[in-house]
Amino acid sequence: MPERPDIQESVHPAPNGGVGMQPWARAHGSRAKPKPSPQRGRQQPSRSRRGIAKSFTNLLYHAVFATKDRRPIIEPEFRERLYKYIGGIIRAERGIQLDIGGAADHVHTLMKLRPDDRVADMLRLIKANSSRWLNEGLTRGFHWQDDYAAFTVSESQAPALRRYIAGHEEHHRKMSFRDEPIALLRKNRIKFDEGYI
């Protein structure tokens, strides 16, 4: 298995965290006036420059999405190439794919996103671009389902999730493809109607 990037390797600064901006000014997109120093009229270094007022995030998401009608059409011959392609889409959007796996009819990915990225937008890009890529040369009539499941993941739980993704096919020898999303929804205390799973 190729080496995966370390979960701790990247800390994303929050957007618009510019030097010399006060919290109100940052939220409204304008620069606050610098305060003159009482000594020789020089400006005091901003809080950001001194390393106190930076914002840091570690936003990990576990996303699960399936083929249309849960058709088992993610063939072993191109599965690893598909996973790498999905990783490239995430990187192009300045995110990090920490792990990915799945089965013939669905994909699990653990990804780290920037605070200004929406999970829904990322998954829309992943599904649109990867289905187009697959249909251009590796298969025909490939489509993803419109819906998906996505859950936040704490840093402490990420290693267990990575083990789950790595042993995913083995896991499905004990649990059906239909029972897995139900178990994930229950674990995350999300209300659902089993008729739509």
> Do 143 and 170 belong to one domain?
yes
DSSP annotation of 67 reads B
Q: So what's the pLDDT on residue 108?
A: 93
Encode pLDDT of 179-197 as tens digits: 666 566 666 666 655 655 5
Tell me if 49 is assigned to some domain: yes
Tell me if 17 is assigned to some domain: no
When pLDDT is averaged across residues 98-126 and rounded to a whole number, the result is 95
Tell me if 7 is assigned to some domain: no
State yes or no: pLDDT of 5 exceeds 90. Answer: no
| Contact by Cβ (8 Å): 113, 38 | no
Of the segments 10-24, 127-141, 155-169, which one has the largest average pLDDT value?
Answer: 127-141
Q: So what's the pLDDT on residue 80?
A: 95
Range of the domain at 29: 22-55
| Contact by Cβ (8 Å): 142, 131 | yes
Q: What letters, b where the CB count within 10 A reaches 16 and e where it falls short, cover 162-195?
A: beebeebeeebeeeeeeebbeeebeeeeeeeeee
Distance CA 59, CA 191 (A): 23
Q: So what's the pLDDT on residue 117?
A: 94
> Do 167 and 130 belong to one domain?
yes
Tell me if 5 is assigned to some domain: no
Q: Among the residues of the chain, which ranges form H helices?
A: 23-28, 76-92, 119-135, 158-166, 168-171, 179-187
Tell me if 185 is assigned to some domain: yes
> Do 124 and 183 belong to one domain?
yes
**What confidence category does residue 1 fall into, taking pLDDT thresholds of 50, 70 and 90?**
very low
**Whole-model pTM?**
0.65
Number of neighbouring beta carbons within 10 Å of residue 88:
14
Tell me if 8 is assigned to some domain: no
State yes or no: pLDDT of 19 exceeds 80. Answer: no
3-state secondary structure (DSSP) of residue 144: strand
Q: So what's the pLDDT on residue 188?
A: 60
